[in-house]
Amino acid sequence: MKRYNMLLVEDAQARILARTTPTPIEEVPLLEALGRPVARDLASDIDISPFANSAMDGFAVHAADLEGASRERPVDLEVVAHIGAGSVYDGPVEPGQAVRIMTGAPMPAACDSVVKIEDIAVTAGDGSVGSRVAFYAPTKLGSNVRPAGQEAQAGQTVMHAGDVVDSAGVGLLASCGHATVPVHTRPRVGIIATGSELVDITEKPGPGKIRNSNSSALAAQALEAGAIPTIYPAAPDDHDLILATVRKAVAENDFVASSGGASNGDYDFITQAVAELGELIFDRVNMRPGKCQTFGVVEGTPVLGLAGNPAAAFLGFEVLIRPALRKMQGFTQLARPVTWATLAQPISSHEKRREYLRGRVERTEDGGYTAVSFKNQSSALIGTMHQANCLLVIPEGPQDLAAGDKIRCLRIDQAEGVQ
């Protein structure tokens, strides 16, 4: 069948993003919004705090009463009320009087300042109503008083659409009365594996067979990207069976990821399936591993046919699918952080494609970074992806990099927007 031109990775990403739209909005219990972007601007329904209150355990006073107070000439006040957080005193406080007040209790309207308990002495009684207390210094007007509406005012937007709810955000939304939060539904991702050689994890593979590891790895990547994966039974390399699986998966999901059968071997059917069932958008990406990646839209659902080799499939998901799943959830940060590091070894490559080498980037003592690439970059190996914390990005075209050269490392160990 006709082969399309090879796309630059960024072009492939852009074409996928162009065909993915945010999922519908749902209201979820506050804690279920943790780690997800809010789908709409969210405001507070009240002033927070709704009232001015004391920042200290102490005494609410008129600052004017304490003018001129000193160690030698203390000012003595009469305690006329005693309030803790949750209770209100709205009676009079005349000159010469004070209110014993605890942290968080509303300021009596008649007082303007709070002196903390450590700075006074009880001169008569137990310090509660009817006692007398001595003050040894003047106090600043408004001292230790937290004004109303300091955190937010009623109607004020406290979180904007796209802001990710972290644990402090959960606290903020709780104080603003949001027991539930609007978020985009988690995208449902159908995972298809193609290959007559594949057997289930629970089986010991017979002659010529291997375990289907891609479906599990891709489902895990979908979970990490905030999506809900469904693994379909592996389809043997049969045109009709693959078509039927794709048809079922697109009907039941927001995105479909398949692995295997994406190149032009005798038994590779996924590109043909996408072309027959819907619109084929590209089938080659200028990357290594994983040149053969098919993308199209079937019945309105994006379908990405990843390469079959485990490291290639994993990389394809990371680079092409993960950003799309994030966009669908309303994340604004779609790209993993990049660390520029000093290459620890020379790398020469005759490859025309952009290479993503599994390796590790580490901090050096001088605060820089150094990167090493693993020796065996076979796309059949998934263990080296497990050991990697980054992908060293070798630009398109032949390269002769020396030890000490600077190299871009894609941080697959760090969340988008971290740097």
- Which among 252, 274, 248, 257 has a CA at the least distance from the CA of 219? 257
Looking at 37, 195, 226, 229, which residue binds Mg ion (CB under 5 A)? 195
88 vs 210, beta carbon nearer ligand AMP: 210
Count of beta carbons in the 10 Å neighbourhood of residue 49: 17
Residues 25-44 that bind Mg ion (CB under 5 A): none
Residue 225 is a binding residue for ligand AMP (CB under 6 A): no
Looking at the DSSP assignment, which residues form a beta bridge with residue 146? 53
Residue 233 is a binding residue for ligand AMP (CB under 6 A): no
Per-residue contact track with ligand AMP, 294 to 313, x per CB under 6 A? -------------xxxx---
φ, ψ dihedrals at 84, nearest 5°:
-110, 175
46 vs 381, beta carbon nearer Mg ion: 381
Residue 261 is a binding residue for Mg ion (CB under 5 A): yes
Instruction: Report the nearest approach of ligand AMP to the CB of residue 17 (Å).
Output: 25
Residues 241-260 that bind ligand AMP (CB under 6 A): 259-260
Distance CA 80, CA 126 (A): 13
Beta strands in 20-117 (DSSP E): 25-29, 42-43, 53-54, 58-61, 75-83, 97-101, 113-116
Beta strands in 268-383 (DSSP E): 279-282, 287-288, 294-298, 301-306, 338-343, 347-349, 354-363, 369-373
**By three-state DSSP, how is residue 307 classified?**
coil
Instruction: Report the nearest approach of ligand AMP to the CB of residue 310 (Å).
Output: 5
Piece of the chain touching Mg ion by CB under 5 A; list 282-290, 306-314, 315-323, 360-368: 306-314
Residue 310 is a binding residue for Mg ion (CB under 5 A): no
Residue with nearest beta carbon to ligand AMP: 308
Number of residues counted as binding ligand AMP (CB under 6 A) = 19
Question: Tokens standing for 317?
Answer: 């998901």
Residue 261 is a binding residue for ligand AMP (CB under 6 A): yes
Is the Cβ–Cβ distance between 340 and 407 less than 8 Å?
yes
Instruction: Report the nearest approach of ligand AMP to the CB of residue 210 (Å).
Output: 6
Residue 263 binds which entry of Mg ion, ligand AMP, none, CB below 5-8 Å type-dependent: ligand AMP
Is the Cβ–Cβ distance between 334 and 326 less than 8 Å?
yes
Residue 226 is a binding residue for Mg ion (CB under 5 A): no
235 vs 357, beta carbon nearer Mg ion: 235
Q: Angle at CA 79, nearest 5°, toward 75 and 83?
A: 130
Whether the bond into 289 is cis, omega within 30 of 0: yes
Piece of the chain touching ligand AMP by CB under 6 A; list 48-56, 76-84, 119-127, 212-220: 212-220
Residue 169 is a binding residue for Mg ion (CB under 5 A): no
Piece of the chain touching ligand AMP by CB under 6 A; list 2-10, 49-57, 154-162, 206-214: 206-214
DSSP string for residues in 129-170: TT-EEEE-S---TTTTEEPTTSSB-TT-EEE-TT-B--HHHH
20 vs 259, beta carbon nearer ligand AMP: 259
Q: Angle at CA 185, nearest 5°, toward 183 and 187?
A: 135
Residues that bind ligand AMP (CB under 6 A): 193, 195, 197-198, 210, 212-215, 259-263, 265, 307-310
Residues that bind Mg ion (CB under 5 A): 195, 260-261, 308
